[in-house]
Amino acid sequence: MARSIDAARAMQYTKEIVAYGPRWDGSQGMEKVRTYLKNKLKGDQVEEDAFTAETSVGKIAMRNIVVKFPGTKDGIIVLASHYETNYWLRNIPFVGANDGAATSALLLAIADQLRGKKLEGYSIWLAFLDGEESMTRQWNSDDALWGSRHLAKKWQDDGTSKKIKALLLADMIGDADLDIFHDESSTPWVEDLVLQAATRLGYQSHFFASSTSVEDDHIPFARTGVPVADIIDLNYGYNNSYHHTAQDTVDKLSVGSLKISGDVILETIRLVNAVGDNPAPVAPQKPPS
Ligand SMILES: [Zn+2]
């Protein structure tokens, strides 16, 4: 498997997504971005997961897009990102360059590396999730995480979740000033692998200086027993001041950060595969006293 992504191309994809304008659920921009993603994935094994979300602002048609790259080993590694922008920000020019666009672009750039090659190891599925953001300004997890809650339930019902070795969620990691948080609500061993991957590539200074517990699209999957890691930078601009504002634009991102994020994700995938090959030794039993 490729060891690195084409980060310049990931930046280009980010710009293309952002160029459609705001893409809140129900907007024309969202329809256009959906079509854009499907065009980029033409010829790949794409499945759509369509559903109606009964939100606090009414019924909204939503759609997760999952693209599957089959591997040689039994088991799946999922990479996920949300692609919509906030409904409650629909009256300002909020394009979510970092929040949704950059990470969807990263997934496209990773698809470019996986396409048309024999994939040694677990299958890799890329999930473009809809409806991550809360419908109203006040965060409410019952009025957010729509796509992830729907897909996690579907995968639990059809037995897929048992086959998932790890789910890596990417969120807001195109920030030029990249500082990825340690997420206390993620699965510790997957978080450890992310840090190990970053360290192996010499990028550890961008990882885990801060620690917090994040409510994001990984949570519904974690609740169904899937090992998860949310790879997220929650400090976007001084004091997170660009987050959910019209200042979340492509000039705040960098090709360098996309490269770090994308390459660490690829390295983490490699490490998850290695864990599968060499299961952790069982702790020695205490002698009877
Ligand atoms: Zn957001």
- Each of the 289 residues of the chain gets a pLDDT tens digit; together they read 788 999 999 999 999 999 999 999 999 999 999 999 999 999 999 999 999 999 999 999 999 999 999 999 999 999 999 999 999 999 999 999 999 999 999 999 999 999 999 999 999 999 999 999 999 999 999 999 999 999 999 999 999 999 999 999 999 999 999 999 999 999 999 999 999 999 999 999 999 999 999 999 999 999 999 999 999 999 999 999 999 999 999 999 999 999 999 999 999 999 999 986 665 555 545 555 5
In a domain, 2, yes or no: no
The domain in which residue 42 lies consists of 7-276
In a domain, 146, yes or no: yes
What pairing do the DSSP bridges indicate for beta strands 45-55 and 58-69? Answer: antiparallel
pTM of the model: 0.95
In a domain, 150, yes or no: yes
Task: Supply the DSSP symbol for 288.
Answer: P
Report the number of distinct structural domains present in the chain: 1
User: 171: CA distance to ligand 1 center in Å?
Assistant: 8
In a domain, 26, yes or no: yes
User: 107: CA distance to ligand 1 center in Å?
Assistant: 17
H helical segments located in the chain: 7-18, 28-40, 102-114, 146-157, 188-200, 218-223, 255-277
Q: What is the pLDDT of residue 280?
A: 56
User: 244: CA distance to ligand 1 center in Å?
Assistant: 6
Please report the DSSP string for 135-184 in residue order.
Answer: SSSS--GGGS-HHHHHHHHHHHHTT-GGGEEEEEEEES--BSS--EEEET
User: 106: CA distance to ligand 1 center in Å?
Assistant: 16
Nearest residue to 46 via CA among 139, 125, 132: 125
User: 275: CA distance to ligand 1 center in Å?
Assistant: 32
User: 185: CA distance to ligand 1 center in Å?
Assistant: 18
User: 128: CA distance to ligand 1 center in Å?
Assistant: 14
Q: Residue 189's domain is classified under what CATH number?
A: 3.40.630.10
Burial code of 104-133, b = ≥16 C-beta within 10 A, e = fewer?
bbbbbbbbbbbeeeeeebbbbbbbbbbbbb
User: 179: CA distance to ligand 1 center in Å?
Assistant: 17
User: 245: CA distance to ligand 1 center in Å?
Assistant: 10
In a domain, 71, yes or no: yes
In a domain, 287, yes or no: no
User: 133: CA distance to ligand 1 center in Å?
Assistant: 6
User: 145: CA distance to ligand 1 center in Å?
Assistant: 11
In a domain, 162, yes or no: yes
User: 234: CA distance to ligand 1 center in Å?
Assistant: 10
CB-CB neighbours of 83 under 10 Å:
27
Q: What is the pLDDT of residue 3?
A: 87
User: 27: CA distance to ligand 1 center in Å?
Assistant: 17
Please name the amino acid found at residue 76. Answer: I
In a domain, 285, yes or no: no
User: 211: CA distance to ligand 1 center in Å?
Assistant: 18
User: 239: CA distance to ligand 1 center in Å?
Assistant: 15
User: 123: CA distance to ligand 1 center in Å?
Assistant: 28
User: 226: CA distance to ligand 1 center in Å?
Assistant: 23
Q: What is the pLDDT of residue 77?
A: 98
User: 31: CA distance to ligand 1 center in Å?
Assistant: 19
Q: What is the pLDDT of residue 208?
A: 98
User: 257: CA distance to ligand 1 center in Å?
Assistant: 18
CB-CB neighbours of 190 under 10 Å:
25
User: 100: CA distance to ligand 1 center in Å?
Assistant: 7
